[in-house]
Structure 1
Amino acid sequence: MELRGRTALITGSAKGLGKMTAITLAAMGCDIVLNYVNSEQEARLLSAEIAHQYGVRATAVQADIADAADVERLAQTAQAWSSSGSIDILINNAGPFIRERRLFSAYETADIARLLNGNLLGVMLLDHHLLPGMRGRQWGRIIHFGFGHAGEGRAWPHRAVYATAKTGLVSFTKTLAVEEAGNGITVHMICPGDIRGMNKERTIAEVAGEPDDESPSGRPGSGEDIARVIAFLCLPQSDYLTGNILDVTGGFDPIKTSIKAN
């Protein structure tokens, strides 16, 4: 188990891609700090399942990444729980998203603030809280979540606020990677394709035989597609890789850059 003795915090990990990532890292020997906002029952059940199946420690902490006070409490609680007193691996999966398509002019002020806080500021603050522990141990792995083709900074009509937050996170990812490379800390962004519903918690084998006409790869994406890339980047031997924006999309491009006049 390549990550035995490490502690990983995965935000938004009671369900979906975060859940699959937590299970994958636990299988590699990591102690796991799960995070949830409302899905307490799912988080508690997953924590017990991980501890029983993989023989690692696991806990679950409620916190909203869009709330600065919650972010600080999450960081303090996670570090206090860790056997080393610090978090070694931080997976910033959580981030609010509004699936309904709407023009920027139609957004409420509160929605704008929440999307920016949850997808950019909250991520930066959590990194900031946990960096001292990683620096002290001269080892760390930080993974941010984006969206397919986020690194290109293209227009994404009807997703203006979310896209702005994530493309801002692209620059922060690259900058933090350069600043912390000398401290044994690597920083990357994973950009999933359009993985929906229960496919977020399925394996590659489970989706392999299913057709997907929208995907150039011919099949839907799965949670394992994302989790296995994250696991590779977290390996000790992956220390020469940092500052990368990785599209894991099967070739799918979700961005439509033009709209009809309104």
Structure 2
Amino acid sequence: MGTRKIALITGSARGLGKRTALTLAASGCDIGLNYRTSGDEAERLKEEIERMHGVRCSAVQADMTVPGDPERLVTETANRLGPIDILVNNAGPFIRERRLFADYTPEEVRYLLSGNLGSVIELDALVLPGMRQRGWGRILHFGFGRAAEAPAWVHRAVYAAAKVGLVSFTKSLAVEEAKNGITVNMICPGDIKGDNKERLIREAELLRDEESPRGRPGSGEDVARVIAFLCQAESDFITGNILDVSGGLDPIRSLSGGMQSRAD
């Protein structure tokens, strides 16, 4: 990746964020970890990254739904590691209970919109000035399968609305910042569940998933390796894209039964 870059990954103590942090560390990035409540896991991961990959790593507690926390996260990470070159907006709250929109409280609506759209836009705004100054940056957003089509997702109306709004923002920001050497893309994982979020591809290949056209479950590495590719200097011509990483599965059909949060 050339000159060592500094990557901040929100919600990176566990799950897809953890696998992304390990993958970017292996590519030579210094890593800014973020956690909401999983402090012990974040510290263990920090030690693992430093020991295995010889890069610098920090871990900062911040909740993307709490006003002021996104700014504090960026400031503390930059103070410890330096200006942020890569921002992976992995964190996003999700209410697992299936409910009609009419059954959500106003507080829950604000929580989902803030954590999945508002705080992402805020974080992007916080890192953009430095990226513009250096003429280089990579911003990654997370969506859900087929988000670019703005499909109906019954019982997930608020979450889906936030992510579909983020699709438009991803495309708009990508066009605005292309001339500044900054790319903006969205990754849309398929139905990657539980421990599979941290697994390597070679581990997932030992498992069977009859619902997946590929025949195996998705893994965290399936997602992380796409992110690592988009973060390469030579990937500067790929921007404004919404990429499904689903193994050919229709994620809405699969995920309608429930999906775990990536908030930590």
Asked if TM exceeds 0.5, the reply is yes
1:157 aligns with 2:154: yes
Q: Does 1:254 align with 2:240?
A: no
Mapped partners of 1:68, 1:179: distance in 2 = 26
Runs of 4+ in 1 over 3 A off after TM superposition: none
Question: Whole-Å Cα distance in 2 between the matches of residues 3 and 144 of structure 1?
Answer: 23
TM normalised by structure 2 equals 0.94
Match of 1:213 among 210, 213, 217: 210
SS at match of 2:31: strand
Does residue 242 of structure 2 align to residue 245 of structure 1?
Answer: yes
Q: What's the counterpart of residue 87 of structure 1? A: 84
User: SS of 1:255's equivalent?
Assistant: helix
CA distance in 1 between counterparts of 2:67 and 2:117 reads 11
- Answer yes or no: is 1:146 the counterpart of 2:104: no
Name the residue aligned to 2:114. 117
Match of 1:68, SS?
Answer: coil
Please name the residue that 2:219 is paired with: 222
* TM-score with structure 1 setting the length: 0.95
Aligned partner of 1:30 in structure 2 is: 29
Within 1, Cα distance between the matches of 2:246 and 2:253?
Answer: 15
Aligned-pair identity in percent equals 63
State the alpha-carbon separation in 1 of the partners of residues 132 and 67 from structure 2: 22
Match of 1:190 among 151, 163, 187: 187
3-state SS in 1 of match to 2:34 = strand
Larger deviation, residues 30-39 vs 3-12: 3-12
Q: Which has the higher contact order (CA 8 A, sep 6+)?
A: 2
Alpha-carbon RMSD: 1.3
Aligned to 1:130: 127
Alignment-mate amino acid for residue 63 of structure 1: A
SS at structure 2 position matched to 1:246 = strand
- Structure 1's 20 and 159: CA in aligned 2 closer, same or farther, altered over 3 A? same
**Structure 2: runs of 5+ lacking an equivalent:** 257-264
User: Relative to structure 2, which stretch is displaced further, 176-185 or 63-72?
Assistant: 63-72
- Corresponding residue SS for 1:188: strand
Question: How far is the alpha carbon of 1:4 from its aligned partner?
Answer: 4.5
5+ long unaligned stretches in structure 1:
none
Partner Cα distance (1:238, 1:36) in 2: 28
The Cα shift of 1:3 comes to: 5.0
Residue 9 of structure 1 is matched in structure 2 by: 8
